[in-house]
Amino acid sequence: MASIGSLSFIVETTMENSVLLRSGNHRRPSFASLASQLRNFHDCGLNGSKFWCISPKVVSGEAFSGLSSNCEKMINGCGRVHPWRSKHLKATGKDSVEGKDGDESEDALQATIEKSKKVLAMQRDLLQQSREVRAGTEGVVLARIKKREQLGSVNMIAERKKLVSSIKNSIINTEEDLVSYNEKDNSLPNTDIVSTGGDHTDGDYTSRNLSDSYGHSTADQISETLPIVVSGGFDEGEKDTETNLPFEKVSTDAYPPKKFKETSLGQVSSDTMPSFLLRPSERFSLKDDKLEELTEQDGNGEEIVLNEDVKPPPLAGANVMNIILVAAECAPWSKTGGLGDVAGALPKALARRGHRVMVVAPRYGNYAEPQETGVRKRYKVDGQDVEVTYFQTYIDGVDFVFIDSHMFRHMENNIYGGNRVDILKRMVLFCKAAIEVPWYVPCGGTCYGDGNLVFIANDWHTALLPVFLKAYYHDNGLMKYTRCILVIHNIAHQGRGPVDDFLYVDLPQHYIDIFKLCDPVGGEHFNIFAAGLKMADRVVTVSHGYAWELKTSEGGWGLDGIINENNWKLKGIVNGIDTKEWSPQFDFHLTSDGYTNYSLETLQIGKPQCKAALQKELGLPVRENVPLIGFIGRLDHQKGVDLIAEAIPWMVDQDVQLVMLGTGRPDLEQLLRQFESQHRDKVRGWVGFSVKVAHRITAGADILLMPSRFEPCGLNQLYAMSYGTVPVVHAVGGLRDTVHPFDPFNESGLGWTFDKAETNRLIHALGNCLLTYREYRNSWEGIQRRGMMQDLSWDNAAQNYEEVLVTAKYQW
C-alpha cells in the first residue's frame, strides 16, 4: 500500500490571494489539525472552496497513510494538480523521516497561517487600489498623480514583502528538504495520481479512491472525523459506496483557465500556468516578484503601481467557480436551433470571466476535435446497463466533453427524433452520465470535482439533472456543495407523457409527485420540466419579457402555476451572440461566391455586394433597389410561418423579394415549396438546415421577418441587427426586449414591431418598413447603423449568469 508521510502544504485561495499552510517539515502532522486549519480558512471567509495544494512534500511513512490519503482526496477534488504533486505523490513506499516535536510545528504552522492571512488582506487592498488607479487614470502619468494617495499602499507593499519573504524562506527550507530527499532516492515508483481513463466500469469514485489508493486505515480515519454517508448511486457500482467524500468542502477546484502543457514526466510546465498557480517562490521571488514589476520608485523614493503588462485578476474575482453547462445540442457540433448556439457560446463568455467551464453534450457523430478519454462507465436505463465513453477537447478556454453511446450515435440529424419513450431514455442516460463527468472525466489532467461546482441545465431535455442531483446525490450526502440552475429556452416543449413514464427515470417512488401535473391540455400527466423547475436551485429564462410571459396562463403552457410558485428563483437574462461566429466583418461564409465581409465603415459597399451575391445564389433577379426580405427558423407554429403565408399575396404585389429558410413541420415545408413554385421570380423557399445559407441570408437581406407567436429570446433578430439587416418582429418575449421600434420623429429605434400575431398587423409594420426603405434612405441607414453599433456580445449576459450562479452556490 502506498504510504506517504508528512506533508507541507501551500494552499492558495484565489488568484489574488495566497495562503501558506504548512504542516511542518520533520514531524508527524495530525490529519485532524490540518483538516481543521483548512476548515478554519473556509469558515473565516477565505473562500476555502478554492484551496489549491501546490506543494505537498513527501517524507513518507506508514503511520501517515491516513493523512496522505485524505490529502490526496482533497487534492483530487481540487482540479488541476501542480507538478509538485504529480511528482512527489508518486513517491510512495519510501522510508519514513520521523518528525520532531509536534507542538512546535503546530505553532509554526499557526504563525505562518497568521502571516499568510495578513499578506492576503494586504494583497486585496493593494489590488483594489491598483484597480482604482487603472480605472481612474490613463496610464503612468495619471498614476503618478495618485501617488500621494498610494502612500498607504507603499507602506503596505514593504510590509507585505517582509511577510512574503519570511514565508518564502520557509518555502525554500521546505524545497531544500525536498531536494535533499530526492537526491537520496530518486527512484520514484510510477504511480499516477490522476485517473486518466481506463475501464472504470466496476468501481465508483468513492470506493475506488478509498480502497485502491488508501486502504482500510484511511476509511477508519475518515470515519472518526467525518460523517459516514450511504451512497444512492444508480448502478450496481454505486451501491458499494459507503463513505462520503470527506473533503467536499475544502477540496474544491481552483481556476485553470489555460490548458497546461504536460512534460514527458507528466508534470505541468509553469510557463503555461496562470500566475496564481505558480509556487510562491516563483511568484514572490524578490527580483522576479510580480509586485516588483508592478511597482516603481519615483523621485521621492515612493513606490507607485505602474506596470500595465501584469495580467489582471479574473473578472469574476473571488467568485471563480467550476461551471458545467449540459445541453442536448452544442454548436458547431450539433444544432437544431438557438439552444445549440447558446451552448456553444455562453460557456466561452463565462470562461473569459475566469471560471473553469465545461460543456457536456451527447456525441451524435464523429467529431473531429474531441479525443477519447478512455473513461468508460455504465448507467442503467430502463433496467439495462448502457455503456458510455467520454470524448473531450479544449477550445477557447472551455472543455467540451461529449458522451458517446450507441443511443446517441448517428442521431445528428434527428436529435429529438424517435418516439416519446426513445427520447426520454436518451435524456435519462444523458443526464445520468453528465452529472458524474466532474468525478470521472479528466480535463487538462484533472477532474473538476464537485465542491465548487454549478451545473447549468437547459430545457426539458436536461431538466432531470437537478432532480437526479437531489435524489441520487444530495439525499445521500454526496455532491453536497454542487448546485444546478435550469435555463428555460422554450417552455412549449416539456417532456410530457403518461404518469407511468416515471418508471423510466429510475427514482425512488416518493419522487413521483414532483413530476405529476394536471392541466387542461394533458389532464394528470408526467412532466419532466415541472420536476426540474421545482428541483433547480435557480431558474433563468432567456429574456425579461419571456420571464414575465411564463407566469401567464397564455405563456406558461401549463407550467405557469409552478413558475409563479418559484418566482423567487426566476430571472430573465437576454441571450448574447457569438461575435466570432456572427460578425459581418469576420464571417467565414462571406468570403466566397461573391460575398464579402463588411463593417460599419464599409456597410454601403459590402452589404449591397452580399445582397447581389445572395440574389445570384438563389437565382433571383439581381436588383439593388428591390427590398430583399428574409426568414430563417424552425418551421412550426411558434415561428408564425402561417402569418407569412397569409401575407404572401400582399407581399408579392409590393415588388419585393422573399427568401425563407427552414425545416420542421412537413406541412409548413410544403408551404415554402409552394410559395416558390407560385412566385418563382420573387420567392425562394429553401427547405433544409444550412448554417452557411443562414449566414448569407442574414448578410444579404435588407429585412428580417420574425412574426413568432412567442419568442423566448430569438437570436436571428440579434444576428440581423449586427449585420445591418432591419428586423420586423412580433413584439413578444425577447423580440420586444431587443427590437426597439423605429421612431421617425426622434430618429431612434432598431426596426419595426407589431403587437398582435395577426396578418394585418404584420402587413402594417412591414408596409411602414418598406416605405422607409424606399423613401427615407437616411433614416434607413440610421436604423442599420444603430443596430450594428450595439454591443450584443455574450459578455453582459455572462456577467448576469454569474450572479445567478453565485446565488445558487451559496443557497441552502
Ligand X SMILES: Nc1ncnc2c1ncn2[C@@H]1O[C@H](COP(=O)(O)OP(=O)(O)O[C@H]2O[C@H](CO)[C@@H](O)[C@H](O)[C@H]2O)[C@@H](O)[C@H]1O
Residue nearer to ligand X on the CB measure, 546 or 598: 546
Residue nearer to ligand X on the CB measure, 641 or 770: 641
Among 248, 399, 711, 802, interactor with ligand X by CB under 6 A: 711
Residue nearer to ligand X on the CB measure, 66 or 630: 630
Among 245, 661, 721, 739, interactor with ligand X by CB under 6 A: 661
Residue nearer to ligand X on the CB measure, 459 or 506: 459
Residue nearer to ligand X on the CB measure, 46 or 715: 715
Is residue 690 at the binding interface for ligand X, with CB under 6 A as the rule? yes
Is residue 704 at the binding interface for ligand X, with CB under 6 A as the rule? no
Q: What are the Cα distances from residue 728, in Å, to 545, 645, 668?
A: 17, 16, 21
Shortest CB 624 distance to ligand X, Å: 25
Cell numbers at 772, concatenated: 422607409
Is residue 691 at the binding interface for ligand X, with CB under 6 A as the rule? yes
Among 559, 713, 797, 805, interactor with ligand X by CB under 6 A: 713
Q: What are the Cα distances from residue 158, in Å, to 9, 151, 152, 153, 171?
A: 25, 11, 10, 9, 20
Span interacting with ligand X, options 272-280, 410-418, 507-515, 657-665, rule CB under 6 A: 657-665
Is residue 800 at the binding interface for ligand X, with CB under 6 A as the rule? no
- Give the Cβ contact number of residue 106 at 10 Å: 17
Write down the H helix ranges in 506-584.
512-515, 528-535, 544-549, 560-565
Cell numbers at 643, concatenated: 402569418
Is residue 640 at the binding interface for ligand X, with CB under 6 A as the rule? no
Is residue 714 at the binding interface for ligand X, with CB under 6 A as the rule? yes
Residue nearer to ligand X on the CB measure, 321 or 661: 661
Cα gap 693→594, rounded to integer Å: 14
Among 668, 694, 766, 788, interactor with ligand X by CB under 6 A: 694
Span interacting with ligand X, options 64-72, 353-361, 714-722, 788-796, rule CB under 6 A: 714-722
- Give the Cβ contact number of residue 579 at 10 Å: 17
Strand order from edge to edge, sheet including 523-527: 496-497, 523-527, 516-519
Under rule CB under 6 A, which residues in 571-600 are in contact with ligand X?
A: 575
Helices then strands, counting H and E runs in the chain, come out as 29, 23
**Total residues interacting with ligand X, rule: CB under 6 A:** 26
Cell numbers at 733, concatenated: 418575449
Is residue 716 at the binding interface for ligand X, with CB under 6 A as the rule? yes
Is residue 628 at the binding interface for ligand X, with CB under 6 A as the rule? no
CB-based contacts of 812: which residues, under 8 Å, 6+ apart? none
Closest residue to ligand X in the complex (CB): 337
Residue 538 DSSP SS3: strand
Is residue 339 at the binding interface for ligand X, with CB under 6 A as the rule? yes
Q: Are 543 and 572 in contact (CB under 8 A)?
A: yes
Q: What are the Cα distances from residue 413, in Å, to 60, 161, 598, 688?
A: 56, 60, 32, 11
- Return phi, psi of residue 8, to 5°: -105, 125
Q: What are the Cα distances from residue 17, in Å, to 98, 126, 317, 468?
A: 32, 11, 11, 35
Closest CA to 355 of 671, 798, 51: 798
Shortest CB 665 distance to ligand X, Å: 13
Is residue 347 at the binding interface for ligand X, with CB under 6 A as the rule? no
Q: Are 66 and 31 in contact (CB under 8 A)?
A: yes
Among 72, 329, 341, 506, interactor with ligand X by CB under 6 A: 341
Is residue 634 at the binding interface for ligand X, with CB under 6 A as the rule? yes
Element spanning 773, H or E: helix 759-775
Closest CA to 431 of 538, 535, 559: 535
> 213-221, long-range: CB within 8 Å, 24+ apart, which pairs?
213/2, 213/69, 213/72, 214/1, 214/65, 214/69, 214/72, 214/73, 215/1, 215/65, 215/69, 217/65, 217/66, 218/65, 218/66, 218/69, 218/70, 219/243, 220/66, 221/31, 221/66, 221/69, 221/70
Shortest CB 288 distance to ligand X, Å: 47
Is residue 56 at the binding interface for ligand X, with CB under 6 A as the rule? no
Cα gap 346→778, rounded to integer Å: 35
Is residue 416 at the binding interface for ligand X, with CB under 6 A as the rule? no
Cα gap 30→688, rounded to integer Å: 66
Shortest CB 654 distance to ligand X, Å: 25
Span interacting with ligand X, options 186-194, 522-530, 559-567, 629-637, rule CB under 6 A: 629-637
Is residue 633 at the binding interface for ligand X, with CB under 6 A as the rule? yes
Among 354, 442, 606, 662, interactor with ligand X by CB under 6 A: 662
Which region holds residue 192: left if phi is over 0, alpha if psi is between -120 and 50, else beta?
Answer: beta
Among 349, 360, 542, 620, interactor with ligand X by CB under 6 A: 542
Residue nearer to ligand X on the CB measure, 350 or 386: 350
Under rule CB under 6 A, which residues in 721-750 are in contact with ligand X?
A: 734
Span interacting with ligand X, options 360-368, 672-680, 684-692, 724-732, rule CB under 6 A: 684-692
Among 570, 715, 728, 805, interactor with ligand X by CB under 6 A: 715
Is residue 344 at the binding interface for ligand X, with CB under 6 A as the rule? no
Under rule CB under 6 A, which residues in 146-185 are in contact with ligand X?
A: none
Is residue 490 at the binding interface for ligand X, with CB under 6 A as the rule? yes
Shortest CB 651 distance to ligand X, Å: 20
- Give the Cβ contact number of residue 193 at 10 Å: 21
Shortest CB 399 distance to ligand X, Å: 22
Is residue 393 at the binding interface for ligand X, with CB under 6 A as the rule? no
Shortest CB 541 distance to ligand X, Å: 9
Give contact residues for ligand X (rule: CB under 6 A): 337-339, 341-342, 489-490, 542, 575, 632-634, 661-663, 689-691, 694, 711-716, 734
